[in-house]
């Protein structure tokens, strides 16, 4: 079984969890990055994110280091932006053929995960989307217990 951790992170929280999962599973990892970085204050980014999420905007992203098409299992990490996955993740999810793949989603957020996992399921037609991991941060301080995260990683190992 070939496994890829695929993630987007604006502020580093999702990257931190993605790297933890990659190390535990000893699998490949690829980061989604926008061609044009988000700039301005945190509030500017929050507002831009709202405009993008509301309009369904798909920002251009840099070529990925790894091709998700070559993996059976994709562990997909995103921050929650306005109750759903980040626009940069949308760009990649829309561009790939997910049929026959297994996706384990995780989403870092400040307590309002919204419909993030449902939206991933809807967008990745044909994929088996497993139960998602909701990871809460207070700014950059992890609130979800590491035991909870470890258990979620363990069930991926068990397949
Ligand atoms: C544009 C934007 C929108 C956000 N919307 C939400 C939200 O709807 N619900 C929530 O709980 N947190 C929201 N947050 C907080 C982030 O989900 C949270 O800080 C996350 O861990 C950031 O991950 P990152 O450091 O990998 O970018 C938002 C943050 C940004 C920048």
Q: What pLDDT, in 10s, does the model give residues 141-157? A: 999 999 999 999 999 99
Q: Distance from the CA of 10 to the center of ligand 1, in angstroms?
A: 9
Question: Is 89 in contact with 116 (CB distance < 8 Å)?
Answer: no
Q: Return the best residue to mutate from 109, 113, 141 for the ligand 1 pocket (most ligand atoms within 8 A of CB).
A: 109
**pLDDT tens digit string along 21-47?**
999 999 999 999 999 999 999 999 999
pLDDT of 159 over the 90 cut: no
Half-sphere exposure for 104 (CA within 13 Å, toward CB)? 22
Pocket test for ligand 1, best of 9, 13, 80 (most atoms within 8 A of CB): 80
Which tokens go with 150?
Answer: 């470890």
pLDDT of residue 53 exceeding 90, the answer is yes
The per-residue pLDDT for 14 is 98
Report yes or no: 126 and 100 within 8 Å, Cβ to Cβ. Answer: yes
CA distance 67 to 56: 24
């Amino acid at each position: 079984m070939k496994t890829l951790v695929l993630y987007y992170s604006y502020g580093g929280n999702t990257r931190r969890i993605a790297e933890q999962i990659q190390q535990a599973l000893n699998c490949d990892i690829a980061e989604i990055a926008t061609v044009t970085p988000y700039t301005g204050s945190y509030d500017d980014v929050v507002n831009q994110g709202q405009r993008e999420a509301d309009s369904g905007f798909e920002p251009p992203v840099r070529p990925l280091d790894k091709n998700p098409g070559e993996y059976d299992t994709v562990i997909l990490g995103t921050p929650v932006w306005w109750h759903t996955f980040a626009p940069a993740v949308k760009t990649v999810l829309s561009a790939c053929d997910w049929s026959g793949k297994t996706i384990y989603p995780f989403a870092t957020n400040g307590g309002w995960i919204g419909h993030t996992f449902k939206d991933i399921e809807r967008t990745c037609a044909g994929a088996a989307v497993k139960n998602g991991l909701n990871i809460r941060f207070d700014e950059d301080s992890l609130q979800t217990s590491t035991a909870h995260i470890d258990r979620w990683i363990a069930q991926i190992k068990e397949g």
